[in-house]
């Protein structure tokens, strides 16, 4: 049954919480289904406060570094500010160190690095880095490893602290209301071409799933990052946990951060794989290319493949948050 209202549509009956379509978004820890629930040890409140202030301090410190040594602000999403080598070195190295310090403040005292035979660091830094997306922590982790740039919504540019830092690391900003999907892909492709030519730009990192999962599944990949046909660098991220999973799923931001800081120690590991070089057939077919990279990464990470989409995710969130189920935009 299809239900239509204004410019949106729902192409199925409302589903139950345990529907298999929601398996990739259902938390697997003891947190429970309540998105406001806290996993909190009251005895750790002083430590939580110190950790939070420490993380904010190192974030503000990097903001100051970008403010002093970074590029001037620009509203042009196509413009890439090329800094003198010494200023870029300060931006990159300080970013890696301070991102690692923020991770430490969040309880990630040890970060496990796994290198698969065939991995080439130099090639990785001139390619598009692609990883599975599990947590908000993924971004900090990748900053501490590669100090790449990211794709973000245009609205992020105006967020204090975050917007200026993303501008400083050559972020790609996309206005989803004004930018056609093809144009957004063109922005990514242009940056990938710059990397392939060896131009002095920061590595580009993409989360091809487009959203987070619970860390046990791999969602379908978006094809935008594969249109250029250039090689990609697969990275697998895992969060072993004892009580509270760092997966950013079915929980609001504040309870998530407090629960994460409440654990004495959090765990993360990342696995660096050899560069994935596409065949001629994959270069000509971005959908085939994206599926093959997804299959490779899921097999390497021992993750289950899920056909679920972002709309399944927000429908599940509506169920556990007791809000109105969402509707998809009507097809043109």
Give pLDDT tens digits for 66-121: 999 988 766 555 556 678 889 999 999 999 999 999 999 999 999 999 999 999 99
Q: Report CA-CA distances (Å) from 5 to 10, 13, 83, 193, 321.
A: 9, 14, 50, 42, 22
Cα–Cα distance between 145 and 60 in angstroms, integer?
Answer: 20
Mean pLDDT of all residues in 187-202: 88
What's the pLDDT band for 32 if we cut at 50, 70, 90?
low
Cα–Cα distance between 261 and 42 in angstroms, integer?
Answer: 12
Instruction: Give the other-Cβ count within 10 Å of 40's Cβ.
Output: 16
Q: Is the pLDDT of residue 4 over 50?
A: no
Sheet containing 3-5: which strands, arranged edge to edge? 3-5, 8-10, 328-329
Instruction: Please report the pLDDT score of residue 178 as a whole number.
Output: 52
- What percent of the chain is predicted at pLDDT more than 90? 53
What's the pLDDT band for 127 if we cut at 50, 70, 90?
very high
User: In this structure, are strands 8-10 and 268-272 parallel, antiparallel, or unpaired?
Assistant: unpaired
Q: Is the pLDDT of residue 234 over 70?
A: yes
Question: Average per-residue pLDDT in the chain?
Answer: 86
């Amino acid at each position: 049954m299809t239900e239509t209202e204004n410019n949106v549509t729902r192409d199925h009956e409302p589903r139950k919480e345990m529907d298999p379509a929601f398996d990739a978004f259902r938390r697997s820890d003891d947190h429970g289904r309540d998105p406001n629930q806290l996993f909190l040890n009251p005895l750790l409140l002083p430590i939580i406060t110190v950790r939070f202030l420490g993380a904010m301090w190192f974030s503000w410190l990097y903001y100051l570094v970008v403010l002093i040594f970074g590029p001037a602000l620009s509203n042009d999403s196509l413009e890439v500010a090329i800094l003198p080598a010494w200023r870029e070195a300060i931006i990159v190295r300080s970013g890696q160190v301070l991102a690692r310090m923020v991770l430490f403040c969040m309880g990630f005292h040890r970060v496990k690095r796994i290198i698969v035979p065939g991995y080439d660091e130099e090639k990785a830094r001139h390619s598009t880095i692609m990883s599975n997306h599990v947590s908000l922590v993924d971004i900090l982790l990748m900053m501490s490893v590669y100090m790449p740039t990211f794709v973000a919504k245009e609205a992020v540019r105006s967020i204090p602290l975050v917007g200026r830092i993303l501008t400083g690391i050559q972020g790609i900003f996309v206005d989803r209301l004004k930018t056609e999907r093809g144009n957004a892909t063109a922005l990514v492709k242009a940056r990938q071409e710059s990397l392939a030519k060896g131009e002095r730009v920061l590595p580009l990192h993409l989360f091809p799933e487009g959203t987070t999962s619970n860390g046990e599944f791999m969602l379908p990949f978006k094809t935008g990052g594969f249109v250029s046909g250039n090689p990609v660098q697969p990275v697998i991220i895992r969060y072993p946990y004892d009580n509270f999973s760092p997966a950013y799923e079915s929980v609001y931001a504040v309870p998530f951060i407090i629960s994460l800081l409440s654990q004495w120690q959090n765990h993360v590991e990342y696995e660096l794989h050899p560069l994935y070089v596409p065949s001629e057939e994959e270069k000509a077919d971005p959908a085939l290319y994206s599926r093959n990279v997804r299959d490779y990464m899921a097999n390497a990470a021992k993750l289950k493949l899920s056909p679920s989409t972002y709309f399944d995710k927000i429908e599940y969130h509506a169920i556990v948050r007791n809000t109105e189920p969402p509707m998809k935009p009507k097809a043109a």
